[in-house]
Amino acid sequence: MKKLIINLAPTGMVPTKEMTVHVPVTPEEIFNDVDKCVELGVSMVHLHARDDITGNPTYKKEVYERIIYKIREKHPNLVLVGSTSGRNFSEFEKRSQVLDIKGDLKPDMASLTMGSMNFMKVSSVNSPDMIQKLAYKMLENGIKPEIEIFSSGMLKFTQYLIKKELLKPPYYINVLVGNIATMQDDLLDIGVVKANLPEDSYFSIAGLGKCQKDMNILGMAVAHGVRTGVEDYIWMDSRKKEYATNYKLVKRVRDVADIMDIETMKPEELRNILDLEKKVI
């Protein structure tokens, strides 16, 4: 029977408290949201860190360590992903700091965006050299990439890194759709990516902006999982009548999954299929 991977993206780099009071910013707020969502069947969490004073995105590993410590203390098997995003930070030394965490606080996975792109107001630059350096450091430190695909071209570069043996199976791939300048919530676009996924891979679909709900439902139907959270959309509806919370977004996914008779995948099961280190409870 199919089991659904629920990947929670609670914070991101864009939402602020001015935009919505429901975005968790501090390690305590992030933990509280994650803790509430675990009971609904979350398998993994895509983490972004924020500065305690300004609330702005930060690359500092000390903040990631605080977040990971709080989550692991109660949910040791939950799969945790650190961000290496280049949206706000361009230097390799900053982007890769989360990969330097050792021991019990080391993240299980880290995001690896497979190309550059434009968002509505800014660009995220991911040069081939940067991607390969990040991939190599993840490989060296025993951290599995959470491969991020915003276009079919990024999938081609993923296949190139597989040939170079910088990526090792099994692969976990997030297909992100709905950004203004990349792949849209179009069945043809998603079908092309799905048809060309590398062997021994598991993929989830994330809808950015108002397509989040529809893409969550599509992911339940055609993918191994879904990504949902306030990072991707701060509203529950496309008409912007109700602010989202991470709990409400995950609950909606869980409710639809129950209607479709799809079980959610436990973190221990996800660790097994992705060949991640088992955690001692």
User: What CATH number has the domain bearing residue 133?
Assistant: 3.20.20.70
In a domain, 81, yes or no: yes
Domain interval for residue 241? 3-274
Per DSSP, helices labelled H in the chain are 27-38, 61-74, 92-95, 128-141, 152-163, 187-195, 212-222, 246-259, 267-274
Spatial separation of the C-alpha atoms in residues 110 and 79, rounded to whole Å? 11
The dihedrals phi and psi of 278, each to the nearest 5 degrees, come to: -80, 145
In a domain, 260, yes or no: yes
Strands 57-58 and 49-50: antiparallel
In a domain, 7, yes or no: yes
Give the number of other Cβ atoms within 10 Å of residue 223's Cβ.
23
In a domain, 280, yes or no: no
For the chain, list residues with pLDDT below 70. Answer: 279-281
Residues 1 and 263: beta-carbon distance below 8 Å: yes
- When divided into structural domains, the chain yields a total of 1
- CA 209 vs. chain centroid, Å, equals 15
Spatial separation of the C-alpha atoms in residues 133 and 126, rounded to whole Å? 11
Alpha-carbon dihedral sign for residues 61, 62, 67, 69 = positive
Q: What's the pLDDT score for residue 176? A: 97
Residues 236 and 251: beta-carbon distance below 8 Å: no
The dihedrals phi and psi of 225, each to the nearest 5 degrees, come to: -165, 180
What is the chain's alpha carbon radius of gyration, rounded to the nearest angstrom? 17
In a domain, 279, yes or no: no
Q: What's the pLDDT score for residue 281? A: 44
Q: What's the pLDDT score for residue 21? A: 97
Q: What's the pLDDT score for residue 121? A: 78
Half-sphere exposure of 48 (CA within 13 A, CB side): 26
Q: What's the pLDDT score for residue 279? A: 64
- pTM for the predicted model, two decimal places: 0.96
- Burial letters 264-277, b for 16+ CB under 10 A, else e: bbebeebbeebebe
In a domain, 281, yes or no: no
In a domain, 88, yes or no: yes
Tokens 């300004």 found at: 54
In a domain, 181, yes or no: yes
Spatial separation of the C-alpha atoms in residues 265 and 4, rounded to whole Å? 5
